[in-house]
């Protein structure tokens, strides 16, 4: 996994794993040589393997920021209006160890990676705000201090080059919402300011079976079939 491409800082960008272990494993199997792996949050929620995904992210990632599901894992009732989200957080709270819960609570909201890129789960200033692709230009003020901004949260893979600087969303590993069911992630060449969007197929049927076994809402699994 360590890159030998000297002179280029290559960073794997992951986000929104949401407890989908088969998708995360497929991403790690597909991962080309890189210098660093980072995660833009929401490791848990929705899908049935929260503890296993936390373990893998802890083992592999060099930087991780807190997503809204990571923050709310002890308060599933906050998502009562979204039965899939509430059920996924209830399962996560039961499955995670005390040390895993403490680790999630300790995650920062934002960090700087590769010396000059901002990594944050949602909007750099307004927590929980979605930044959809057509809104990427609104993040221009944050490029004054950074070479680029990396976000997640929308589960939509997208990039924009604004005044020569990158704003990117690597998409969702575990629950894509851009009508493409493959697990999404990306590779950033930090020195060249280049972004490679990647997708990888995984065993969705394994997720469907586990969703049924654990009693999660059926749609938690079926929505993965078409990336909705």
pLDDT, residue 185, reads 98
Spatial separation of the C-alpha atoms in residues 48 and 181, rounded to whole Å: 18
- DSSP codes joined into one string, the chain: -B---TT--EEEEE---TT-HHHHHHHHHH---BSEEEE-S--SSSSS-HHHHHHHHHHH-SEE---HHHHTTT-GGGGTT-HHHHHHHHHHHHHS-HHHHHHHHH--SEEEETTTEEEESS-SSSTT----GGGGGGGGGGGGS-SEEE--SS---EEEEETTEEEEE---SS---SS--SEEEEEEETTTTEEEEEEE---HHHHHHHHHHHT--HHHHHGGGTT-
Q: Write down the pTM of the prediction.
A: 0.95
For 223, the token pair is 């929505």
Domain boundaries, the chain: 10-110+168-225
HSE-CB at 195 with a 13 A cutoff on CA atoms is: 23
Place of tokens 């979605």: 130
**pLDDT the model gives residue 7:** 47
Q: Rounded CA gap, 158 and 113, in Å?
A: 19
Going residue by residue through the chain (228 aa), what tens digit of pLDDT does each one get? 433 333 469 999 999 999 999 999 999 999 999 999 999 999 999 999 999 999 999 999 999 999 999 999 999 999 999 999 999 999 999 999 999 999 999 999 999 999 899 999 999 999 999 999 999 999 999 999 999 999 999 999 999 999 999 999 999 999 999 999 999 999 999 999 899 999 999 999 999 999 999 999 999 999 999 999
CATH topology of domain 10-110+168-225: Purple Acid Phosphatase; chain A, domain 2 (3.60.21)
According to the model, what pLDDT value does residue 8 have?
65
C-alpha 100/C-alpha 43 separation (Å) is 11
The confidence score (pLDDT) of residue 138 equals: 96
pLDDT of residue 1: 41
* 185 bridge partner residues: 198
Q: pLDDT tens digits, residue range 138-178?
A: 999 999 999 999 999 999 999 999 999 999 999 999 999 99
Q: What is the pLDDT of residue 116?
A: 93
* pLDDT at residue 89 in the model: 97
Cβ atoms of residues 89 and 45 within 8 Å: yes
User: Token pair for residue 212?
Assistant: 């049924």
**Residues written for the chain:** 228
150 half-sphere exposure, CB direction, 13 A CA radius? 38
pLDDT at 3 (0 to 100): 38
């Amino acid at each position: 996994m360590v890159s030998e491409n000297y002179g280029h800082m290559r960073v794997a960008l992951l986000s929104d794993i949401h407890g989908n272990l088969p998708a995360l494993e497929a991403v790690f199997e597909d991962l080309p040589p890189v210098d660093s792996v980072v995660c833009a949050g929401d490791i848990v929620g929705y899908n049935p393997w929260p503890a296993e995904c936390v373990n893998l992210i802890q083992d592999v990632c060099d930087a991780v920021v807190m997503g809204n599901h990571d923050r709310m894992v002890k308060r599933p009732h906050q998502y009562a209006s979204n039965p899939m989200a509430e059920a996924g957080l209830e399962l996560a709270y039961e499955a995670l160890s005390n040390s895993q819960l403490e680790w999630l609570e300790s995650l920062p909201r934002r960090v700087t990676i590769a010396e000059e890129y901002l990594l944050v789960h949602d909007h750099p200033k307004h927590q929980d705000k979605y930044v959809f692709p057509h809104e990427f230009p609104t993040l221009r003020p944050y490029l004054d201090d950074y070479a680029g901004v990396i976000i997640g949260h929308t589960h939509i893979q997208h990039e924009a080059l604004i005044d020569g600087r990158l704003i990117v969303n690597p998409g969702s590993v575990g629950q894509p919402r851009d009508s493409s069911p493959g697990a999404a992630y990306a590779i950033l060449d930090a020195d060249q300011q280049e972004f490679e969007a990647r997708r990888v197929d995984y065993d969705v049927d394994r997720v469907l079976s586990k969703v049924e076994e654990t009693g999660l809402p059926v749609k938690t699994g079926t929505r993965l079939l078409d990336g909705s």
